[in-house]
Structure 1
Amino acid sequence: MPLTPISRTAISDAVFAQLVDEILSGRLVPGDPLPAERELAESFGVNRHAVREALKRVQQSGLVRIAQGGNTRVLDWRDNAGLDLLVELTRTGVVPPVRILRDIVEMRRSVGTDAARLCADRAKNEQLDLVATAVDRYPVGECPFEELILIDRAFWTAIVDGSGNLAYRLGLNTIVAAIEEIGAIHLTGFPAELADRDAHVALADRIVHRDAAGAREHAEELLGRIVAALGD
């Protein structure tokens, strides 16, 4: 496989990125052996320590299996990788961007809807105060899109933290990172959703008053708009 020599200081990161790209692009398929550390180091033009560190990360991502004293073989990422690989998928183009966008916003709706329900049901009073404070930041009038993104992130972070679900919190981080990688401006309907202050205030009101069913309903409607827009 053709590899590009690397001359950066943080070389293990670059080695990791190239190996991931080789696998996700399909140039390395499940079952393929990777070259030995020495050969990889020579191809990349780096030391073996950098290659070893990169391989550990590739293994942790579920993309390869490193056998003691044997070959490092490529795994099928669809069967073995975790949610953290989503950001890498947005970079490689192995999955059509429209498919990734659709899947991301569907996941966002699912996580946000249930997090709103859980937050209303079991958040501590101080966490509900954070939700109320966060929703007050949504502007009444026009606001730069970049600022709206930060306001919206703080609002949903407060809700997810209030849900007490660690998996949802990590999922939120992945969703945010993937949207940043693709570019939020490409999400049809996203600017209109963020600018709808009344809808966010209504959702926060349900959560603060511990109306779990109402919070779930409002969140599903609000987050479902962008899902419908992409579907159209």
Structure 2
Amino acid sequence: MPRSSLVDETVTTLLDRIVSGRLGPGDRLPGQDELATLLGVSRLTVREATATLAAGHVLRVEHGNGTFVNPVDRWTDLDAVSRAARAGGQGSDATAQSLIEIRRMIEVGACALAARRATERDLDLLQQHCEAMAEAVTQSDLESFVRHDMAFHARILEAAGNPFLGAVYDPLRRVLERARYQTSEVPVIREHALDHHRRVLAALRTGDPEAAQAAMDAHMDQTSDDLATHVRL
């Protein structure tokens, strides 16, 4: 098995122990040799896995003292935060609704900016994504639908013309993509989403920031309502 896969598996195993409470905030991890033996992997794999979790502030490394579990409120890895929320009593539905709240905070404002700044090329690409989503609805092609759905929203962020938006939004992408697959499995949700994407694009074409903002806000409402009505995560 490739080492990267072993590292990913080790990250998952360690995170499972943390979110289940077997390793709590402030707990010190066993040494690398002991942990490698316990998990059945190499010391190098353990080192890379703990470094990955430390990069997301799930762990903190105190040189000469050891590696410790951080409180969840210090974590910056969204995947880990999402798992901890579910394990801590916030169900998958509540976690998904929390993600929609974050999306609303970012994307509604971005859509208003895009109404002012989008180029004809941006609008043409958004139209192409809408057409591809429509084709995916007809063909029941979930993978294509999600790919173009994500690309539609990414293009709006680019059209907003703010270089910080991508950096702020990028950590959400992996979590959002997984959630999109779960929700978009429901045919009626795909149909609702396509309708709202078309409305967002129509608002962007007017160049009216308030209209674009309202259209994206309505799309977030639709996403939230569909989640509550049609999906049990």
What TM-score do the two structures reach when normalised by structure 2?
0.80
Counterpart AA for 2:183: A
Deviation at 1:106, TM superposition (A): 2.6
| 1:176 to 2:176 alignment | yes
Query: 2:61: which partner in 1?
Result: 66
Please tell me the root mean square deviation across aligned C-alpha atoms, in Å.
Answer: 2.9
Deviation at 1:39, TM superposition (A): 0.7
Query: 2:78: which partner in 1?
Result: 85
Of 97, 107, 121, the match for 1:126: 121
Indicate conservation of the 8 Å contact 1:86/1:178, yes or no: no
Indicate conservation of the 8 Å contact 1:132/1:208, yes or no: no
| 1:109 to 2:104 alignment | yes
Counterpart AA for 1:48: R
Query: 1:4: which partner in 2?
Result: none
Query: 2:166: which partner in 1?
Result: 166
Which shifted more, 27-36 or 152-161?
Answer: 152-161
Counterpart AA for 2:214: E
Query: 2:193: which partner in 1?
Result: 194
Of 198, 219, 223, the match for 2:216: 219
Counterpart AA for 1:144: S
Corresponding residue SS for 2:132:
coil
Indicate conservation of the 8 Å contact 1:131/1:158, yes or no: yes
Q: Deviations over 1:106-127 (max 9, x none)?
A: 3233333222112112234432
Q: 1:202 to 1:89 in 2, by over 3 A?
A: closer
Deviation at 1:29, TM superposition (A): 0.8
Percentage of identical aligned residues: 24
Q: Deviations over 1:105-158 (max 9, x none)?
A: 232333332221121122344323322332333428744151433332232222
Deviation at 1:166, TM superposition (A): 1.4
Structure 1 segment 147-158 matched on structure 2, within 5 A: 147-158=144-155
Q: 1:175 to 1:125 in 2, by over 3 A?
A: farther
Deviation at 1:36, TM superposition (A): 0.7
Query: 2:201: which partner in 1?
Result: 204
Deviation at 1:190, TM superposition (A): 2.8
Query: 1:43: which partner in 2?
Result: 38
Q: 1:18 to 1:8 in 2, by over 3 A?
A: farther
More helix by share: 2
Q: 1:160 to 1:29 in 2, by over 3 A?
A: same
CA distance in 2: counterparts of 1:193 and 1:71, whole angstroms: 51
**Count of residues in Structure 1 that have an aligned counterpart in Structure 2:** 221
Counterpart AA for 1:113: V
Indicate conservation of the 8 Å contact 2:114/2:159, yes or no: yes
Corresponding residue SS for 1:137:
helix
Deviation at 1:76, TM superposition (A): 0.5
